[in-house]
C-alpha cells in the first residue's frame, strides 16, 4: 500500500502540523513526535561534527540513516492516521470509542527493542493496541530482513487475533506487510485494518 507523496519524494517537514477532527472523539493531532524530532536533530548534529572533521564516510552514512528514518516515520504516521480515521468512522454510531497515545513506547521484535509510539483504541472492556517503531541505538538491536520499521496489532484478551507487521520495500515503495510464523509476508490493506476494528466492536 503506497505511502503519501512525501514518502516518495523525501519532502518531510518537522514543523508541518495538521489535525484530524472527530465528530465524537474530539481532535487528534498529527505530527512528528518529540522522540522523532530529538532523534533527527541528534543525527544532524553528529553529521555536522563529522563534516567539520572531514569524516565524509560517516557523514554519508548519517545522511542515509536520516533519510531512512524519515521514511520510517512517514510509514508509521500513515499506519496511525489510517487507524485513527477508521476509529473516527466507527465512533459516529458508537460514541463510546476512545483513543489514547503513549510515546516513547518500547516493544520487542525477536531479540531487538523497537522504540516508537503506542495507540490504544478502547470500546468498553475491549482494547485494540497498535504499536510501531524501529531500533534507534546499537543497544536496541538491529532491523533484520530488510525491515524498515515494525508494528503490532494487539487485542486485549484475544491473543490469537494479534498480528505483526513489517514496513519493507516492494516494487520500490515502502509498504506495510503482515508477517506470519513461516516468514511469509503479504501487503496490508485498509480492509485488513477494518477487520481488526470489527473484532474490537464485536461486529
In a domain, 6, yes or no: no
Looking at the whole model, is its pTM more than 0.75?
A: no
In a domain, 167, yes or no: yes
- How many domains in the chain? 1
In a domain, 65, yes or no: yes
Whose CA is closest to 188, among 32, 23, 28, 2? 2
> What is the pLDDT, as a whole number, of residue 170?
87
List of long-range contacts for 172-175, beta carbons under 8 Å, 24+ apart: 173/2, 173/3, 173/7, 173/8, 174/3, 174/7, 174/71, 174/74, 174/75, 174/148, 175/1, 175/2, 175/3
Q: Which domain holds residue 74?
A: 15-201
In a domain, 7, yes or no: no
pLDDT one digit per residue (tens) for the chain, 203 residues: 333 333 333 333 332 222 232 333 333 334 445 545 555 565 566 556 656 666 556 555 556 666 778 888 888 989 999 999 998 887 676 567 889 999 889 999 999 999 999 999 998 899 999 999 999 888 999 998 889 999 999 999 999 999 999 999 888 888 899 998 777 889 999 899 999 999 998 86
Measured CA to CA, the distance from residue 167 to residue 148 in angstroms comes to 5
Amino acid at each position: 500500500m503506497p505511502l503519501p507523496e512525501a514518502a516518495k519524494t523525501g519532502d518531510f517537514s518537522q514543523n508541518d502540523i495538521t489535525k484530524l477532527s472527530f465528530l465524537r472523539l474530539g481532535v487528534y493531532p498529527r505530527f512528528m513526535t518529540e522522540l522523532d524530532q530529538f532523534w533527527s536533530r541528534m543525527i544532524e548534529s553528529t553529521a555536522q561534527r563529522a563534516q567539520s572533521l572531514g569524516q565524509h564516510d560517516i557523514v554519508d552514512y548519517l545522511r542515509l540513516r536520516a533519510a531512512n528514518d524519515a521514511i520510517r516515520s512517514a510509514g508509521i504516521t500513515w499506519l496511525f492516521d489510517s487507524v485513527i480515521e477508521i476509529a473516527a468512522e466507527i465512533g459516529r454510531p458508537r460514541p463510546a470509542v476512545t483513543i489514547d497515545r503513549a510515546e516513547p513506547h518500547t516493544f520487542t521484535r525477536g531479540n531487538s527493542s523497537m522504540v516508537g509510539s503506542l495507540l490504544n483504541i478502547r470500546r468498553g472492556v475491549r482494547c485494540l493496541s497498535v504499536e510501531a517503531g524501529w531500533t534507534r541505538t546499537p543497544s536496541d538491536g538491529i532491523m533484520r530482513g530488510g525491515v524498515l520499521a515494525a508494528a503490532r496489532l494487539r487485542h486485549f484478551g484475544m491473543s490469537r487475533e494479534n498480528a505483526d507487521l513489517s514496513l519493507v520495500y516492494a516494487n520500490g515503495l515502502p509498504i506495510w506487510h503482515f508477517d506470519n510464523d513461516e516468514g511469509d509476508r503479504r501487503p496490508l490493506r485498509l480492509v485488513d485494518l477494518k477487520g481488526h476494528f470489527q473484532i474490537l466492536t464485536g461486529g
